[in-house]
Amino acid sequence: MTIRKGDPWGEEVPQPNGLPCFSTARAIGRAVESHAQQPVKTPFACVTTDRHVLQLLGLEDHKRDTCLRIPVDIVAVDLTTAEGRSSVVALDTIEVGDGFFHGDWVLFTNTGYWRGKRIASRAHPNDGRVDLVTVNHAMSIRQRFLARYRMRWGTHLPHPHIAITQVDSYSWDGPPRQVCVDGERIQAVTAIRIRVIPDAVTLYV
């Protein structure tokens, strides 16, 4: 069940035994991909030390005898390239374009973080949506550097060339572009379709 504003997230439970442990969002995504064709019906459970999830919970330096059990949404990503179609799972971010400093750039963030910075303050990985951040090609290099610097305080917004909205699905097709799924680069993508799958993973942190 997706979280509602003001509700507590997760519950304290004893440290689990026998669950796989992953240190990156992409590793969790790969495990979910191989775990089941229907992650909604069969939630994947694991222990994680992924820094974005820990940042979100304020647990980076918090030592406990118990752990938090939290439900998390995933983002199913369908891609089309010259080699055909493929499907992957994102837990954290999906980037479309040649990077934040080049031309039009699109970011889908499930946690609200991008490269350790809080780029989307309203994002939550269990609200049934992802935050869509778009940077217009008209934004200068100087303004991009300044915006990235200001992300540490959340003062990069508002900005006339940066827009943020929340979506549960999205489709795009066009000239070949680079797509980066939780840090894994996929070249020459001509079409992308994403959809949020609520409560698909149970994380122990």
Number of Cβ atoms within 10 Å of the Cβ of 17:
6
Residue recorded with tokens 């069969």: 42
Give the torsion sign (CA, 118, 122, 125, 128). negative
Pairing state between β 117-118 and 21-22: unpaired
Residue recorded with tokens 């030592």: 63
- For the chain, what is the HEC assignment? CCCCCCCCCCEEEECCCCCCEECCHHHHHHHHHHHCCCCCCCCEEEEECCHHHHHHHCCCCCCCCEEEEEEEEEEEEEEEECCEEEEEEECCEEEECCCCCCCCEEEEECCCEECCEECCCCCCCCCCCEEEEEECCCCCHHHHHHHHHHCCCCCCCCECCEEEEEECEEEEEEEEEEEEECCEEEEEEEEEEEEEEEEEEEEEC
**CA distance linking residue 73 with residue 22, whole number of Å:** 17
Q: Enumerate the domain spans of the chain.
A: 11-204
Task: Give pLDDT tens digits for 62-104.
Answer: 566 788 899 999 999 999 998 999 999 999 999 999 888 888 8
**Average pLDDT, rounded, for the chain:** 86
* Secondary-structure class of domain 11-204 per CATH: mainly beta
Q: Is the peptide bond before 158 cis (omega within 30 degrees of 0)?
A: yes
Task: Give pLDDT tens digits for 19-45.
Answer: 999 999 999 999 998 875 554 556 789
Task: Give pLDDT tens digits for 120-139.
Answer: 888 899 999 999 998 888 88
In the chain, the percentage of residues whose pLDDT exceeds 90 is 49
* pLDDT at 1 exceeding the cut of 60: no
Q: pTM, whole model, 2 decimals?
A: 0.85
Residue 43 phi/psi, 5-degree rounding, is -55, 140
